[in-house]
Amino acid sequence: MDLLLKGMTKGEPLLVVGLVDTETVEKARIIHDTYPTVSAAFGRMISGAILLSSLLKEGQKVILQVIGDGPLKEVVAEADWLCRVRGYVKEPHIHLGLKDGKLDVGRAIGNGILNVIKDLGLREYYHGSVLLQTGEIATDLAYYFKVSEQIPATVSLGVYVDTDNSVKASGGFMIHALPGVSEETIEYLEERLKGLRTVSSMILNGLGPKEIMEEAVGLPLDIIDRKEVFYYCPCNKDRVMDTIVALGKKDIEELVEKGETVNVMCRFCKTGYAVSQEELLSILKAIDRQSEG
């Protein structure tokens, strides 16, 4: 079971979030048929969205989007306050060589922008954008927190892809220095994080989110929140029909003229929906009734 934990260090105001989401990222890999470099990039984006979702309130959602000039072009991951996550990649079949023994996510993404969009409910949105610093996602998220939210933060993400292309380990941690944290603690943390092993090696060694958080900060923690993580897409036929309605009368009439069943695939979960000619005609009738009324 994939798990997200949120904690506070005893004595010092450090917010620490830990995550193991190996099953979720493996599921995303299977749905989107991603090659290893893309699996690593996508996994880090998924984990990043989940870490950010730990800061949401009931009913809210966060969307991460990376647009770069590298071969991956675009990666999107979104997570809601219940740690339900989904996403998509524009180019699933990219695989580059290793860099320093790691999958070269930075080169695959290239230069570009990280967008952070928060759906705060009641049609209220927050939108923050930063230039990518490395394209490795974790450092870009830390930079986003510093620039857009004025929060000193550390983000570490790791995905390990096995030789059979399956995801063997995925997760991460995030530390926020809250107001009132001492200078000594900041210096201590900076030193400690320099010598830290990668998150993926921690997970491969069987560590859970709590052990990852403890290894990251080396300080006693109180766990304040715990959520199960899973890949979830809320799409259904009604939503597909809504997107057809949104095409407008002229486009729907063109679809009717073609005389074929329209096949729509959800880009988040790859579920296919067939919209029949009868259904298209009933949508047209409903639009006509609406314009008459």
Task: State yes or no: residue 266 binds Zn ion (CB under 5 A).
Answer: yes
Interface segment toward Zn ion; rule CB under 5 A; list 49-57, 60-68, 241-249, 262-270:
262-270
- Nearest Cα residue to 269 out of 94, 119, 85, 21: 85
Structural contact between residues 261 and 43, judged by C-beta atoms closer than 8 angstroms: no
Task: State yes or no: residue 240 binds Zn ion (CB under 5 A).
Answer: no
Three-state DSSP state, 6: strand
Tell me how far, at minimum, the Cβ of 157 lies from Zn ion, in Å: 24
Decide whether 7 or 87 has the Cβ nearer to Zn ion.
87
Tell me how far, at minimum, the Cβ of 230 lies from Zn ion, in Å: 14
Q: List the alpha helices (DSSP H) in 33-137.
A: 36-53, 105-109
Q: How far apart are the first and last CA of the chain?
A: 52
Tell me how far, at minimum, the Cβ of 232 lies from Zn ion, in Å: 9
Token pair in block for residue 125: 């949105």
Interface segment toward Zn ion; rule CB under 5 A; list 115-123, 147-155, 234-242, 274-282:
234-242
Q: Select from 55, 235, 245, 256 the one that contacts Zn ion (CB under 5 A).
A: 235
Task: State yes or no: residue 245 binds Zn ion (CB under 5 A).
Answer: no
Decide whether 45 or 108 has the Cβ nearer to Zn ion.
45
Tell me how far, at minimum, the Cβ of 278 lies from Zn ion, in Å: 23
Interface segment toward Zn ion; rule CB under 5 A; list 140-148, 242-250, 266-274, 281-289:
266-274
Q: Select from 154, 255, 268, 275 the one that contacts Zn ion (CB under 5 A).
A: 268
Interface segment toward Zn ion; rule CB under 5 A; list 145-153, 178-186, 226-234, 284-292:
226-234
Q: Select from 40, 269, 275, 280 the one that contacts Zn ion (CB under 5 A).
A: 269
- Which string of b and e fits 18-42 if b means at least 16 CB within 10 Å? bbbbbebbbbbbebbebbbbbbbbb
Tell me how far, at minimum, the Cβ of 73 lies from Zn ion, in Å: 21
Task: State yes or no: residue 82 binds Zn ion (CB under 5 A).
Answer: no
Interface segment toward Zn ion; rule CB under 5 A; list 6-14, 104-112, 117-125, 225-233:
225-233
Q: List the alpha helices (DSSP H) in the chain.
A: 22-32, 36-53, 105-109, 138-148, 183-194, 199-204, 209-217, 237-247, 249-258, 277-292
Task: State yes or no: residue 42 binds Zn ion (CB under 5 A).
Answer: no
Q: What is the DSSP letter of 132?
A: -
Long-range (24+ apart) CB contacts under 8 A made by 25-33 are 25/159, 25/167, 25/170, 26/166, 26/167, 26/170, 27/231, 28/87, 28/231, 29/165, 29/166, 29/167, 31/231, 31/269, 31/270, 32/88, 32/89, 32/92, 32/270, 33/92, 33/93
Task: State yes or no: residue 233 binds Zn ion (CB under 5 A).
Answer: yes
Task: State yes or no: residue 35 binds Zn ion (CB under 5 A).
Answer: no
Task: State yes or no: residue 256 binds Zn ion (CB under 5 A).
Answer: no
Q: Which residues bind Zn ion (CB under 5 A)?
A: 233, 235, 266, 268-269, 271
